[in-house]
Every structure is written in C-alpha cells, then in structure tokens.
A and B are shown apart, each in its own frame.
Chain A
Amino acid sequence: MGNRYTWRTSIVETLAILLGLVFLVPFYYVISNSLKPFAEILTNTSALPKVLMFDNYVNAFEKLNFLTVFKNSLIITIGSNIVLVIFCSMAAYMLVRTKKKISNIIFMTFVAAMIIPFQSLMIPLIKTAGNLGLLNSMWGLVFMYLGFGSGMTIFLYHGFIKGIPLELEEAAIIDGCTRFGVFWRIVFPLLKPITVTIVILNSLWIWNDFLLPSLVLQDPELRTIPLATFFFFGQYTKQWDLALAALVIGIIPLLIFFFTMQKHIIQGITSGSIK
C-alpha cells in the first residue's frame, strides 16, 4: 500500500474521473440545453450551445412564480425544522431522564412508527387534517412535518442524550436552576452536533418532498418548488426550453445549500445512518 503515488493509483484515478464524468452527464445535458433556443435543443441535443442564451431562464423564472415558490419552500422547511428541533429535543430529553415504564413505551411507539410507509396513512390523514383545519395552510403542513419527522428526530436525540453525563445537570439544579432552565441552558447547547445532523437530514427531506404538499396545499399561491415544478411540467409538456430552465432554477438553491454545508452534510449522513 504505502503512501507513494504509484502507476496503479494513477490508472485508478483516471478511471474514477471518467466514471465521475459519466455521473455528471445528465447535468451537462440539462444545463447546456437550458441555454439553447427550442429549435437548437431538437437538432443539436448533445452539442454545447452555439450562443449562451438566458431567455429561457427569465421566462421560466416568471412562469414558475419563483420568488413566491422559493419563499414558501423556505418558510415550510425552516418552520418545520424549528418545531422539530425544539419539541423533539425536549421530548427525547425527558424520555431519557425519566426512568419509568411510560417513557419506554412512548419512545418505542415513536421508533416503531418509523416503519409505517406514508402511503398507508395518507388517505385518512387528509380527512383528519381537514377536520383539524390543517389543509391548505403552510402552518398546517409544518404541524404535519412535526408529526412525521418526530420518530427519526426523537430517535437520534435519544441516542445522543444517553451519552451526556448527569453531573452537570445536578450541579445546575443545586445552584437553583429549574428543570426547564437546565434543559435550555445546559443540555440543549451540548446537543449541537446532533442538532446540525438532524436539521440537515430533515431539510433535505422536507425541501424535496412532493407527495405531502401536493395533498395538503391546493392554493397555487402556496406551492413549494417541487409542486411548482410538477405543475409547470404538466402545463409545458415537451416545451423543453422552458422546462429545462425551470429544472435548473429548482435545483440551484439546493446546490448552494450543499456547497456551503458540504462537510456537515456528509457528517450528518454518516452519523444519522448509524442506528
């Protein structure tokens, strides 16, 4: 093995780079064609655009109502993350620290429910949500993400909190801190690493989710990015110039998020998957 960069390594490296390029081919096709006029897409799909043309983007940006749609996605994702982090960390903390049968039962119920596929409860969910007045509202959707995300989030917090020593909390209580205060001042700051992981995993899921928002949000003004993309495609089927630009616009926010958070995302996935 050794540390030297051998011939063998350079061959492997070349092959790996070629494979990486193959992986990127779909992105090449989408981006390069999004910069061409419609006729050129049809005749010269594989070639680079003759002239870079941004008209498709301007058009798609307006037709997608991108600013509104982006704002909706942002509100829903951030809102859901906040409630998930606050309420699940509190619940997981209490479930770990209260050594009672009930804690165990509640925790196991949350974990067991993780295997329920969304499809097997979406039909009555819409009815229940209608009765509760949660339909067609972003806050209703946020409340639903709190319910659906709670299993995984509590599971991750639970595992992490078990590793935090009690002494710190006891000392704080002797100093006159309330349990509520102990949690927010002492414990919660210690949860930062797992909170980052949780926020990333939940953000990727919620930002990209299509099915739930499509069932809950009927008003076009409330559409998220995946929803808007879906309806855009329905409306402009085969109008590839507009459609491709819309796709690129839709994935740009995520790519920016990824490149600023890359290190955390990789760590998050690694630690999030170790159960």
Chain B
Amino acid sequence: MNNESKLDTVKGAALTNQKSTKVSHSVSFLNKKKWKEAGLFTLFVGPVLLAFILIVLIPFFTGIYYAFTDWNGVTGSVKWVGLDNFKYLFTEDKQFQTSFILTTKYTVVAIILTNLIGFGLALLVAQKLKTKNVLRTVFFMPNLIGGLILGFIWQFIFVKGFASIGQLTGISVFELAWLGDAKTAFWGIVIVSVWQGAGYIMIIYIAALQNVPQELIEAARIDGANRFQVLRHITMPLVAPAVTICLFLTTASSFKVFDANLSLTNGGPFKSTEMLALNIYTEAFVNNRYGIGEAKALIFFIVVAAITVLQVTISKKKEVES
C-alpha cells in the first residue's frame, strides 16, 4: 500500500464516517421534526375536531344504533329490536307516511316557486333602476328574521290581516280560514317560506347575472335576438352554476323545514301540516319514543343525503353540457 492510496483510504473512511454521522443525525432530527409536526397538527386541528366528534359524529352513530332499539329516552333500559321500528313506520304509522308525502310535495313546490321568484326578482333588480338598491334590501329583508318569528308574523297576517283585506275588497281568497283548513294551511307554509327564501336566492342570482358579459348580450341583440332569446340562450346557460347552488340550498332547507312549520300551524289542523322534521321532534320529545324517532331520523337522513347528492350530480352534468 503506498502512501497515496493510504491517504485515500483515510479520506474514504473519514468521508464515510462523516456521512454516517450525518445520516444518524438527520434520522433523529427527522424524528424530532415529525413529532413536532404531529404536535402542531394536534394543536391546530384538535380542538375543533374534538367538538365535531363529540357533537356530530358520536350522536350520529349512536343515533343509528338507537334506530334499532326500543329506547324511550327516560329509563336506562335499551333493548335491541332489529327492524321492528322500520316495519312499524312503513306498515302502521300513517302519520309518518302522511308527513313524508307532504314534505316531498312541499319541497317540490317550494323549490320551484322560490327559485322562479328569486330569479325573477334578480332579473328585475339587475336592471338599471333608480330604486334597485332599496328594492334589493326590501326583497332580502325577510331573510334576516328566523323562521320561528316569521311564522308568528304570518300567523297574524293569515288570521287577522287576510280577514281584514277580505272584508275591504270582497276578494274570496282572503276570506278563507287559511290556517284552519289542511289545504290552505299547506299553501300558507309555502307562501311564508317563499317570501323568506326568494330574497336569499335572489342575491346569488344577482351575483351570477353580473358575471354575464354585457358584450355577449349586446352582440346577440344586434344579431336580432329578442329579449327572451337572449335570456334562454345566453343568460341561462351562463348562470347555470348558480342554479345548481340555489337548487341545492332550497332543497336542503325545504326538506328540513321546522321553525316555520312549528310557529305557523304547529302541524295543525289535526296534524295535516305536520312535516317530517316536526314529526320526528314530536315522536321523540313529546311521545318519548326515541327509538322510533331515531328510525324516522335515519330514514330522513338517507333521503336528504340521497336527494342532495343526486341533485348536485345532475345539475353539475347539465352545467358541463351547456
């Protein structure tokens, strides 16, 4: 071994030595860093995750369990009853079936009317009107007030206000006993929710309308398209994403309607306007049948989830096509 090569070996050894210390150093450093990162992650995400697990996830999953039991919410005894609750709901509980059909009907009517009126209002106040800002505020205002108080306000309108207008004008629609009859009471809830929801939907449609390029519309007008054609072939396709959002929002809120239902009719007359949310509430907290209430709630969840997912998928597809 000559000197040179010896030197090389020493160098090599030193080099490997250096390398190995570097590697071991970086391993412990990595570990430390990893722990630090995990700690930070927990510090940042932990608090809200804890609340979410305790308040949303645990109740949700124990709720699914209770749907298969005879829990009455008061005593400690909880017995597993399998599918009995669901059998009962589909074969015997007529009120649940009525509520279900009623809620579906209500949701369809409310979605269509809220969106049509909301879009109409948006088209109206998107024009160059002198009073457009005031009008936007006016149409939006019912939205600030919660469904419960709105229901009470309208209770007065239906009971006293309509009667008084009927007396003054002699128009028979106003002379009906609105909340005392199953059919008109249903429409009463529809009127209240459309009156409230249209303004919110309007804001979203206004934002969408403002994003439609003016040049496109002007070009189409010059080419001889009339107002309706412009609306149908230019405006509508361009606001399609907003339609998706608005349909989603109205579907979700209509299916879950509770406050207005409670304060306006409380399900009456004779439970004829009791929607699903109110029906579940009554089953659990008035009749103390938590197990059955939970079974209803589980069906309710599946329906709401299926509708919203389906609806978003369909509208998204439509958006791409147009």
Chain A residues with a Cβ under 8 A of chain B: 1, 3, 5, 9, 12-13, 15-17, 19-20, 23-27, 29-30, 33, 41-42, 45-46, 87-88, 90-91, 93-95, 98, 106, 109-110, 113, 115-125, 127-129, 132, 143-144, 146-148, 150-151, 154, 179-180, 183, 204, 207-211, 215, 226, 229-230, 233, 240, 243-244, 247, 250-251, 254-255, 257-258, 262, 266, 269-270, 273-275
Contact = CB atoms under 8 A, between A and B. Distances in A.
A63 B236 CA distance: 51
A251 B145 contact: yes
A269 B263 contact: no
* Residues of A contacting B: mostly: helix
Contacts, number: 257
Looking at A17, A118, A127, A147, the one whose CB has the most chain B CB atoms below 10 A away is A147
Given A94-B44, A148-B55, A258 B141 contact: yes
A250 B300 contact: no
B204 A270 contact: yes
B294 A124 contact: yes
B131 A269 contact: no
A94 B49 CA distance: 12
B48 interface: yes
Name the residue among B134, B148, B217, B276 with the largest chain A CB count within 10 angstroms: B148
Given A33-B156, A117-B304, A146-B48, A230 B55 contact: no
A125 B55 contact: yes
Interface in B251-275: 252, 255-256, 258-259, 262-263
Nearest to A271: B207
Contacts of A123: 59, 63, 66, 73, 284, 290, 293-294, 297
B285 to A, nearest CB: 7
A207 B152 CA distance: 17
Contacts of B276: 119
A20 to B, nearest CB: 4
Given A26-B153, A124-B66, A119 B300 contact: yes
29 contacts: A1-B218, A9-B129, A16-B124, A23-B141, A94-B40, A113-B52, A116-B301, A117-B301, A119-B256, A119-B281, A119-B300, A121-B297, A122-B281, A123-B73, A123-B294, A124-B58, A124-B60, A128-B55, A128-B58, A132-B54, A144-B51, A147-B56, A148-B55, A150-B48, A208-B145, A211-B259, A230-B263, A251-B149, A273-B246
A44 B206 CA distance: 39
For the complex of A and B, 8 pairs with smallest distance between CB atoms: A147-B55, A208-B146, A45-B164, A94-B44, A120-B297, A120-B301, A87-B48, A125-B59
Contact of A269 (B168, B204, B221, B297): B204
B225 interface: no
Nearest to B308: A115
A121 B258 contact: no
A247 B49 contact: no
B147 A90 contact: no
Contact of B135 (A17, A88, A124): A17
A209 B259 CA distance: 9
Interface in B181-202: 195, 200
A86 to B, nearest CB: 8
Nearest to A42: B160
Contacts of B206: 270
Contact of B304 (A88, A93, A115, A207): A115
Contacts of A119: 256, 258, 276-277, 280-281, 297, 300
Contacts of A128: 54-55, 58-59, 62
Interface of B: 37, 40-41, 43-45, 47-49, 51-52, 54-60, 62-63, 66, 73, 121, 124-125, 127-131, 134-142, 144-149, 152-154, 156-157, 160-161, 163-165, 168, 195, 200, 203-204, 206-207, 214, 217-218, 221, 245-246, 249, 252, 255-256, 258-259, 262-263, 276-277, 280-281, 284-285, 290, 293-294, 297-298, 300-301, 304-305, 308-309
Given A29-B161, A226-B259, 16 more contacts: A12-B124, A16-B131, A20-B139, A27-B153, A93-B44, A115-B304, A115-B309, A116-B60, A119-B300, A120-B60, A122-B284, A128-B55, A146-B55, A251-B149, A273-B249, A275-B245
A254 B144 contact: yes
B44 A29 contact: no
A42 B160 CA distance: 8
B157 A24 contact: no
B135 A16 contact: yes
A100 to B, nearest CB: 8
Contacts of A208: 145-149
Given A16-B129, A146-B48, A229 B59 contact: no
Nearest to A211: B258
Contact of B41 (A13, A98, A118): A98
A144 B129 CA distance: 44
Contacts of A275: 245
Contact of A98 (B37, B63, B121, B163): B37
A211 to B, nearest CB: 6
A140 B187 CA distance: 38
Nearest to B163: A45
Nearest to B198: A23
B125 to A, nearest CB: 7
B304 A30 contact: no
